[in-house]
Amino acid sequence: MIQVKPASPRPAETPPSAAKASLGIRTKVLLMMSTLVVTVVGLLLALNTYQDKRLLSEKADETGKLLVKTLSASVRDELLIGEILPIEESVRQLSNLKTKGIKEIYVSNREGEVVAHSNTALAGRKAASLSGNVMAVEERAGEHIVVRETKDNYEYTDSIFVGKESKFIGRSHLIMSKASIVAPIEEQQKFMLLISAATLVLALLLMMLFIRPIMKTLESLSDAVKKVRTGDLDIDVISSGNDELGELAFEFNEMVVTLKRQMNRESGDMAIGIDVKNKISDEQVFGLAQKQTATTILSTDPKNFNAITASHDIKTALQLTVDYNDLKAQIIEKHGGIVDRSFRGGLRAYFKGSAMADDAMEAAMEIQATLLRLNTAAAKDGQPVVVYGMGISSGIIVATEIKTKSGKTVFTPEVDKVLHKSSYLSALSAPYGVLITEEVAKKLKKKYAFGDAKDVGFNNQKGLVAYQIDAEETVAFAKLLHESGAEETLALPQRAGTSEPESEIRGERA
């Protein structure tokens, strides 16, 4: 028997800002860069130090061997016959060479007594016993050189032999300081450390310069995501780069536009006013609970509301929307439409009857022509303006009958594709343009100039054919209204404002 285990509740996720504080991206990148520079410089410094130390040690070793050989050759005969003064002179001459690193030079006889020393005070004493690690032994005819290493020095000794029997008669000694050998290396290390520090600082400065636009885009994306999370879709991330981040910002903006359209299609249709419900659903009865009616729906969508809220306070922006909706409502009602103000940010109207498609089209064209005239004048006076796109769809709306306790009957239109299509098209429409479905185009009895049919897609599927009536046709319609004397004497309330760029009048995004 299979048992179904109830899913355990998912623990609440902790947002990154509430979690344990961690390093930011900028800090992480700078730390990575610093680590890279320090590692590379450290490796180069270690390699260079090793190489220099090896070369200097080899050079010092050659010098030490050469000097001790020279000393042995110059004192061999004198040491054999016991002449001390020539031996002292040879030691003095070598000492006067001031060879770097040499601490002591002396000669000892076969008994181990120092017969001559670079420090004359040490002559006549017993030579120090040989100690330290033997590094090298070099034997040739009459020569026996041994190199030893102690804690602080390198010691070179050459045993002196004479005659065919290789009779031992004494030794030449040379002591060289380790510190004097590595001193140039230490100086070079200090210089390289200074260069490394300067390189690190320069690399970090360059990295900060290069990373600044990246961080600016990331911060903009982060702020935008937070706004989307709170339901604010009036955002636009700007990125000047053509790299992956620029592409990410573009895709994010496209996602926000898609979300906004989806909300217009779905959530905006859920709250239709009671007056609209009563007026629109009065046709043929189906059963006891439902009615349906053929309807043409006009939806409007503000195109530059983001720019208005960015340049003005929210109260001014909202009041401006209300004023525009009042103006549009007057024109819609003149053409027999039923106004619904519950549509998010815009306005929706319902038309019925045999001429409903023409009524909706004439209302839309007159609204756009009127707004074009008023906005042009308002913008010249420094007034903020809003431009709209419009969408028109046509079809059957099914309504549910609801009886109240008082006996009043209320009809609630269901949220269906007809409602969705009009709001979807208004979001797609160009500023001052009207986008209509193929069904609306077929119902039109009057002639209008619009472009070729195109598939605009709907609910992520193809198949929604629409026609665009662009701003040029709106301009022509406005001219026709003016010449015929039928132009509405409507006006927007006057308010102080700053001059809007021309691109805002056309509804283009900054």
Q: What is the CATH number of the domain that holds 456?
A: 3.30.70.1230
pLDDT of 290 reads: 56
Residue 242 has pLDDT above 50, yes or no: yes
pLDDT of 467 reads: 82
Q: Judging by beta carbons within 10 Å of its beta carbon (0-12, 13-18, 19+), is residue 20 exposed, middle or buried?
A: exposed
Amino acid at 141: A
- Tally the residues of the chain: 510
Residues 124-134: tens digit of each pLDDT: 888 877 776 77
Mean pLDDT (whole number) for 71-100: 85
Alpha-helical runs (H) found in 288-355? 305-311, 314-334
**Measured between alpha carbons, how far is residue 65 from residues 138, 166, 177, 206, 389 in Å?**
9, 21, 14, 52, 97
Would residue 218 count as lying in a domain? no
Q: What is the CATH number of the domain that holds 140?
A: 3.30.450.20
Q: How far is CA 100 from the centre of its chain?
A: 58
Residue 360 has pLDDT above 90, yes or no: yes
Provide the domain count of the chain: 2
- Of 125, 128, 190, the closest CA to residue 153 belongs to 128
Residues 471-508: tens digit of each pLDDT: 677 677 766 666 655 555 555 555 544 434 333 333 33
User: Phi-psi region for residue 170, left (φ > 0), alpha (ψ -120 to 50) or beta?
Assistant: left
Over 373-386, what HEC string results? HHHHHHHHCCCCCC
- Of 484, 445, 425, the closest CA to residue 354 belongs to 445
pLDDT of 358 reads: 92
- Of 457, 427, 428, 425, the closest CA to residue 441 belongs to 425
Would residue 465 count as lying in a domain? yes
Would residue 128 count as lying in a domain? yes
- On whether both 348 and 491 belong to a single domain, the answer is yes
Per the structure, the complete domain to which residue 45 belongs is given by 26-183
User: What's the maximum distance between 2 C-alpha atoms anywhere in the chain?
Assistant: 147
| Rounded Cα distance, 240 and 217, in Å | 9
- On whether both 179 and 319 belong to a single domain, the answer is no
The kind and range of the H/E element at 296 are strand 290-302
Sequence-distant (≥ 6) Cβ neighbours of residue 203 within 8 angstroms: 33, 34, 37
pLDDT of 454 reads: 80
Q: Are strands 102-109 and 114-117 parallel, antiparallel or unpaired?
A: antiparallel
Mean pLDDT (whole number) for 276-289: 46
- On whether both 319 and 448 belong to a single domain, the answer is yes
Q: Are strands 434-437 and 388-403 parallel, antiparallel or unpaired?
A: parallel
Q: Using only C-alpha atoms, what is the Rg of the chain?
A: 48
pLDDT of 221 reads: 80
User: How high is the mean pLDDT of the chain?
Assistant: 74
Q: With bands split at pLDDT 50, 70 and 90, how would you rate the model's confidence at 111?
A: confident
Q: With bands split at pLDDT 50, 70 and 90, how would you rate the model's confidence at 407?
A: low
Give the domain-ending residue among 129, 155, 183: 183
Residue 207 has pLDDT above 70, yes or no: yes
Give the domain-ending residue among 183, 217, 232: 183
- Of 332, 359, 336, the closest CA to residue 440 belongs to 359
Would residue 255 count as lying in a domain? no
| Rounded Cα distance, 105 and 108, in Å | 10
Give the domain-ending residue among 183, 200, 218: 183
Q: Reduced to 3 states, what is the DSSP secondary structure of residue 454?
A: strand
Give the Cβ contact number of residue 113 at 10 Å: 14
- On whether both 409 and 282 belong to a single domain, the answer is yes
Would residue 17 count as lying in a domain? no
Over 330-345, what HEC string results? HHHHHCCCEEECCCCC
Alpha-helical runs (H) found in 165-281? 178-229, 244-265, 274-280
- On whether both 319 and 172 belong to a single domain, the answer is no
Residues 174-186: tens digit of each pLDDT: 988 888 777 777 7
Would residue 15 count as lying in a domain? no
- On whether both 456 and 331 belong to a single domain, the answer is yes
- Max avg pLDDT among 32-46, 316-330, 486-500: 316-330
| Rounded Cα distance, 296 and 359, in Å | 9
Alpha-helical runs (H) found in 133-177? none
Contact 403/306 with Cβ under 8 angstroms? no
Q: Reduced to 3 states, what is the DSSP secondary structure of residue 489?
A: coil
pTM, rounded to two decimals: 0.43
Mean pLDDT (whole number) for 280-309: 68
Question: Which residue did the predictor score with more confidence, 49 or 20?
Answer: 49
- On whether both 166 and 279 belong to a single domain, the answer is no
Residue 431 has pLDDT above 70, yes or no: yes
Tell me what percent of the residues of the chain surpass a pLDDT of 70: 72
- On whether both 271 and 172 belong to a single domain, the answer is no
Question: Which residue did the predictor score with more confidence, 371 or 101?
Answer: 371
- Of 431, 441, 430, the closest CA to residue 466 belongs to 441
Residue 87 has pLDDT above 70, yes or no: yes
Would residue 243 count as lying in a domain? no
**Measured between alpha carbons, how far is residue 44 from residues 41, 47, 49 in Å?**
5, 5, 8
- Of 154, 174, 61, the closest CA to residue 107 belongs to 174
Contact 199/41 with Cβ under 8 angstroms? yes
- On whether both 173 and 40 belong to a single domain, the answer is yes
Would residue 11 count as lying in a domain? no
Q: Reduced to 3 states, what is the DSSP secondary structure of residue 268?
A: helix
Mean pLDDT (whole number) for 31-59: 78
